[in-house]
């Protein structure tokens, strides 16, 4: 079983065992970093086949639309006139690297709850910087930790001579510290970069902005007061302010695009419904709605707060994928 399949199975198992406490998607930091790393390595081993498949996912046009090709917003009389159009600012990583190792790849920005992640990938290597009020995860087992410094601030450096899936000569290096303003800062590297390289990258992070690319998943309407809680290549979540600032994992009202055929979980007793003319399954416990996107892919909508069946359906009808 690949890392991606293992993580997905864990997420599904925890979501299906939910009984009123949210879907418990508490491994999303691995989905954000580990899954991408696993996909890259499999692409290299398969001669690029996996990379082509991943590109096909991103290239899909609007998935829930009427015959004129326009997104279907939830009817106001069924969702309620108080549901506004999302208006959160475009996300960005709030630091700008002064130096990036050659061959690192292009930057990708991911919103992880209260934190923001900046990732560079090339072939099997990953370089990631994260900042925010929530202490990040190390994401890998270390062989030893030792003291260091970044910009005059005390730091912890973690290293390992190898890691799961490492190519010859690759190692893991991580450094974590607190900024002068109290925010957590962390840089992790899986690849052929040395500790000196990672520290140089970390020390070169200066206040600035690396904007996120256009969101592949978008919402037409969200509950009042909800802001952006998570944004990655195939997922988007909106949540209340107190939820947005409290953690790193996806929470609130989420839409995930998974590269799996639509398959109702019969043992969970779903209700067969229609979303934008597409077959779908509604689960009242946990709050979940699966929509058949065709082409062996499924839209999974989940929520961890009170939401009626009709509200969930109308919300899903306003979800589009770039």
CA distance 54 to 110: 17
Beta strands in 106-263, from DSSP E residues, in sequence order: 107-112, 115-122, 125-132, 144-150, 153-160, 171-178, 184-191, 205-211, 217-218, 227-232, 235-239, 253-258
pLDDT at residue 146, rounded to an integer: 97
Between 45 and 15, the more confident residue is 15
Residue 68 has pLDDT above 90, yes or no: no
| pLDDT at site 123 | 86
Residue pair 304/267 in contact (Cβ under 8 Å)? The answer is no
pLDDT (mean) for 231-248: 94
Mean pLDDT of the chain: 81
Are 170 and 190 a contacting pair, CB within 8 Å?
Answer: yes
User: What pLDDT, in 10s, does the model give residues 123-157?
Assistant: 889 999 999 999 999 999 899 999 999 999 999 99
Token reading at 157? 């450096």
Tokens 């919103």 belong to 111
Q: Check pLDDT > 60 for residue 311.
A: yes
Among the ranges 1-15, 26-40, 69-83, 110-124, which has the highest mean pLDDT value? 110-124
Q: What angle do helix axes 36-45 and 3-16 make, rounded to 10 degrees? A: 140
pLDDT digits (tens, 9 = 90+) for 256-289: 999 999 999 999 999 999 999 999 999 998 899 9
Nearest CA among 261, 271, 253 for reference residue 297: 261
Element (H, E) at 33: none
Whole-number pLDDT of residue 316: 96
Amino acid 91: pLDDT? 95
Q: Quick one: what percent of the chain has pLDDT higher than 70?
A: 75
Say what the pLDDT of residue 81 is: 44
Rounded (10°) angle between helices 36-45 and 49-58: 130
Which pLDDT value is given to residue 214? 87
Residue 215: which pLDDT band, with cuts at 50, 70 and 90?
confident
Q: What is the pTM of this model?
A: 0.76
């Amino acid at each position: 079983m690949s890392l991606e399949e293992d993580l997905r199975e864990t997420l599904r198992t925890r979501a299906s065992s939910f009984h009123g406490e949210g879907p418990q998607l508490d491994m999303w930091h691995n989905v954000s970093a580990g899954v991408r790393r696993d996909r890259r390595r499999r692409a290299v081993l398969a001669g690029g086949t996996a990379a082509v498949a991943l590109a096909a996912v991103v290239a899909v046009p609007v998935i829930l639309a009427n015959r004129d090709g326009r997104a279907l917003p939830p009817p106001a009389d069924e969702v309620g006139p108080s549901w506004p159009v999302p208006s959160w600012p475009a996300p960005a990583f709030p630091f700008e690297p002064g130096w990036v190792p050659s061959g690192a790849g292009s930057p990708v920005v991911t919103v992880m709850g209260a934190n923001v992640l900046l990732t560079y990938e090339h072939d099997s290597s990953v370089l990631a910087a994260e900042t925010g009020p929530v202490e990040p995860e190390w994401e890998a087992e270390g062989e030893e930790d030792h003291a260091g410094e970044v910009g005059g601030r005390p730091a912890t450096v973690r290293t390992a001579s190898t890691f799961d899936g490492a190519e010859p000569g690759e190692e893991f290096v991580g450094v974590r510290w607190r900024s002068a303003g109290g925010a957590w800062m962390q840089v992790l590297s899986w690849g052929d970069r040395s500790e000196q390289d990672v520290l140089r990258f970390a020390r070169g992070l200066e206040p600035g902005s690396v904007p996120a690319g256009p969101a592949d998943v978008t919402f037409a309407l969200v509950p009042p007061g909800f802001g952006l809680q998570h944004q990655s290549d195939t997922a988007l979540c909106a949540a209340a302010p107190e939820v947005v600032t409290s953690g790193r994992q996806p929470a609130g009202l989420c839409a995930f695009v998974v590269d799996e055929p639509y398959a109702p979980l019969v043992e969970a007793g779903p209700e067969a419904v229609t979303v934008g003319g597409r077959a779908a399954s509604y689960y009242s416990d946990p709050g979940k709605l699966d929509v058949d996107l065709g082409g062996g892919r499924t839209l999974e909508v989940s929520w961890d707060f009170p939401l009626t069946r009709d509200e969930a359906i109308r919300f899903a009808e306003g979800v589009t994928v770039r």
